[in-house]
DNA sequence: GACAATTTGTCCGTATGTATT
DNA sequence: CAATACATACGGACAAATTGT
């Protein structure tokens, strides 16, 4: 039975928020540390989720150093 | 200028090997530890590269616990 | 069947660099 | 200058599955 890993759950949750319109294009995502506390996850789990959703993956979100991560596209 | 991160270089190199046919479909990839020594990289760098190429990313390779990682598709 | 070795899968913490505020 | 935030990188720990002895 394939259990879903934590980083996959986080990615699915964020993807769902973007798809539903709760986080529209241009919306700023919570900071890395906030995501950690929200999902009670480590840096790696959050980072892996964002790596899959990021520019080198699905391309739904993108981040800029010092500013934050933003939704760039709907799934 | 955005220099390419290490995990991206590793992913590009593996992707190129698959595309060129050097690693055909069904071929078993080097083990995680071998990839680390080959690229002089850490677990995280190798893991991030394989996360992008894996089933939840591009879907070029897939792994089975205790056996190894195999090429499943050409780019 | 039991055991050890190998390998992948997941997860955690931390450090450094860079850019913005 | 200082605080915040992302990007990359390193290392280590444990579980699960496979293989060989």
Q: Residues of B near A (CB-CB distance < 8 A)?
A: 8, 11, 44, 48, 51-52, 56-57
Tens of pLDDT, residue by residue over B38-50, are: 999 999 999 999 9
DSSP assignment of B12-72 equals HHHHHHHHHTSS-TTPBPPPHHHHHHHHT--HHHHHHHHHHHSTTTT-SEEEETTTEEEE-
Strand D nucleotides with an atom less than 7 Å from a protein beta carbon: 3-13, 15-19
Tell me the mean pLDDT in the region A24-35: 96
**Do residue A8 and residue B48 have CB atoms under 8 angstroms apart?**
no
According to DSSP, the β-strands at B61-64 and A61-64 are unpaired
Q: pLDDT for A7-23, tens place per residue?
A: 999 999 999 999 999 99
Percent of chain A with pLDDT over 90: 93
Q: What is the average pLDDT across B52-63?
A: 96
pTM, full prediction:
0.91
User: How far, in Å, is the CA of A66 from the C1' of nucleotide D2?
Assistant: 14
pLDDT of residue B62: 97
Query: Integer distance in angstroms from the first to the last C-alpha of chain B?
Result: 27
Segment B2-48, tens digit of pLDDT: 579 999 999 999 999 999 999 999 999 999 999 999 999 999 999 99
CA distance A19 to A53: 13
Q: Which residue is nearest to the C1' sugar atom of D16, using CA?
A: B65
């Amino acid at each position: 039975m394939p259990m879903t890993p934590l980083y996959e759950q986080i990615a699915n949750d964020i993807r769902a928020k973007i798809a539903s319109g709760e986080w529209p294009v241009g919306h700023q995502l919570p900071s890395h540390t906030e995501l950690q506390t929200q999902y009670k996850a480590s840096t790696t789990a959050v980072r892996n989720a964002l790596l899959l959703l990021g520019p080198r993956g699905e391309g739904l979100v993108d981040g800029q150093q010092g500013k934050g991560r933003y939704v760039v596209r709907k799934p």
